[in-house]
Amino acid sequence: MRVGVIGLGWMGKVHLRIYSELRGVEVVGVMDVDDKALAEAKDKYGVPTYKDLDTFLGNKFDAVSVCVPTFMHHKTGMAVIERGIPLLLEKPLAKTAAEGLELVNAAKAKGIPLMTGHVERFNPAVGRIRELIQDNGVISIQIERVGPYPPRIQDVGVIRDLASHDIDLIRYISGSNYKNIYAVTSCNIGQHEDTVIISAEMENGVLGQINCNWITPYKSRQIHVATKTRYIEGNLITQQVKEYSKFETYQSSYNVREWPVMFKEPVREELTAFLGALESGKPMPITGEDGLNVLQTIERVDEAIRSAKAS
């Protein structure tokens, strides 16, 4: 398959590396406006480089990854769709829900496959958690995603950069859409919010809580799921999953079981699934509509924050 990468920031470089390693995949070209990034890509992978998007899109592509800053997702994505090229747009789908809707509608109108890059769905720990909660009556899902401030992120705050992962994960794991959302945030080290706590109730009654910040000195990615019969703890960094049995009062004890998970690189799994869906003609593993739902939920979070500050 002939593929390309637009945007050679941190994630774009990951996409380029993985595409270069996949069998049956040829990187036809990469595009960026930074000469240093282009020179590095050409030197390391021997791929054609472009600074002009129109010239880049003049190549024959089977698929393109769009890894530009969020504020450029709409313009870049629309240009790719207009050329009739299937695309994976990194999360969040766009800067606003209105822009996201235009992307989804444009892709649908032209019959172009559009996938949103919510990579955590491909984390093996998430897959194991979903297996363990089947028919167990999920009560609540809590996710912690914290760490130090990433200088590479300049155009959005912690909600769109970090919490967008978990807004999608809670919907994915619970199998339900958001019913009620409450949120508070604070801004401490830059122009965008760097701390957010989101509480939610899903339509099926599952409770969700998200804690994200850029002020914790260490990186943590934890999921805790309470069900009627067990408590599950997942570490998205180490991909370890533990299951705690229900506390038995008469024994004053509970059992702990660590479930084996084969460690995999989520982005590699994501890109493999993306290209596999294109080759087989199957629906995208994560659709544009999934990405749009996250954007719509983010805007509900924004409204909840404004309401909290006004009260």
Is residue 275 in a domain?
Answer: no
Q: Is 282 within the bounds of a domain?
A: no
Residue 154, domain CATH = 3.30.360.10
- The whole-angstrom separation of Cα 101 and Cα 278 is 22
pLDDT over 90 (residue 130):
yes
Domain span at 40: 2-119
**Residue 212 falls inside a structural domain:** yes
**Does residue 252 register a pLDDT over 80?**
no
Question: Chain centroid to CA 43: how far?
Answer: 29
In a shared domain, residues 92 and 152: no
Query: How many other C-beta atoms can be found within 10 angstroms of the C-beta atom of residue 290?
Result: 20
Sheet with 87-90, edge to edge strand ranges: 49-50, 26-31, 2-6, 63-66, 87-90, 114-117
Contact 289, 274 (CB under 8 A): no
Share of the chain above pLDDT 90, in %: 85
The total number of structural domains in the chain stands at 2
- The predicted structure's pLDDT at residue 158: 93
Q: In this predicted model, what pLDDT tens digit does every residue of 24-50 receive, in sequence order?
A: 999 999 999 999 999 999 999 999 999
- What would the mean pLDDT of 240-245 be, rounded to a whole number? 93
Sheet holding 230-235, edge to edge: 178-186, 195-202, 207-213, 138-148, 215-227, 230-235, 240-245, 256-259
Across residues 16-28, what is the average pLDDT?
A: 97
- Residues 168-220: tens digit of each pLDDT: 999 999 999 999 999 999 999 878 899 999 999 999 999 999 999 999 999 99
Residue 181 lies in a domain: yes
Please check whether residue 279 lies inside any domain of the structure: no
Shared domain check, 110 and 133: no
Do 163 and 306 share a domain, yes or no? yes
Residues 75 and 147 in one domain: no
Whether 153 has a pLDDT exceeding 70, the answer reads no
Residue 277 has pLDDT above 80, yes or no: yes
What residues are paired with 63 via a beta bridge? 3
- Whole-number Å distance between alpha carbons of 80 and 100: 14
Q: Are residues 90 and 235 in the same domain?
A: no
**165 lies in the same domain as 88:** no
- Averaged pLDDT score across all residues of the chain: 94
pLDDT reading at 308 higher than 90: no
Identify the CATH number of the domain in which residue 14 sits: 3.40.50.720
User: Are 227 and 212 contained in the same domain?
Assistant: yes
Distance, in Å, from the CA atom of 233 to the CA atom of 141, rounded to the nearest integer, reads 10
In a domain, residue 273? The reply is no
Specify the pLDDT at position 92: 94
Which residues are 243's β-sheet partners? 232, 257
Within a domain: residue 77? yes
Between 80 and 155, the more confident residue is 80
Asked, for residue 134, whether it belongs to a domain, the answer is yes
Does the structure show a pLDDT above 70 at 154? Answer: no
Per cent of the chain over pLDDT 70 is: 98
First to last CA, the chain: 54
Instruction: Tell whether 135 and 248 lie within a shared domain.
Output: yes
Q: What average pLDDT does this structure show over 47-67? A: 97
Mark which of 92, 119, 146 sits at the end of a domain: 119
Lowest mean pLDDT segment, chosen from 14-18, 41-45, 252-256: 252-256
Q: Are residues 134 and 263 in the same domain?
A: yes
Are residues 305 and 256 located together in one domain of the fold? yes
| 163 and 174 housed in the same domain | yes
Residue 310, pLDDT score: 82
Residue 111 above 90 pLDDT? yes
Q: Which of 119, 150, 181 is the last residue of a domain?
A: 119
Residues paired with residue 198 on neighbouring β-strands, in sequence order: 183, 210
At 166-180, the pLDDT tens digits run: 999 999 999 999 999
- Report how far residue 121's alpha carbon sits from residue 198's, in angstroms, rounded to the nearest whole number: 20
This model's pTM is above 0.85: yes
Statement to judge: residues 165 and 301 lie in one domain = yes
Of 82, 100, 119, which residue sits at a domain end?
119
Pairing of the two strands 26-31 and 240-245: unpaired
Q: What is the pLDDT of residues 155-169, one digit of tens each?
A: 788 999 899 999 999
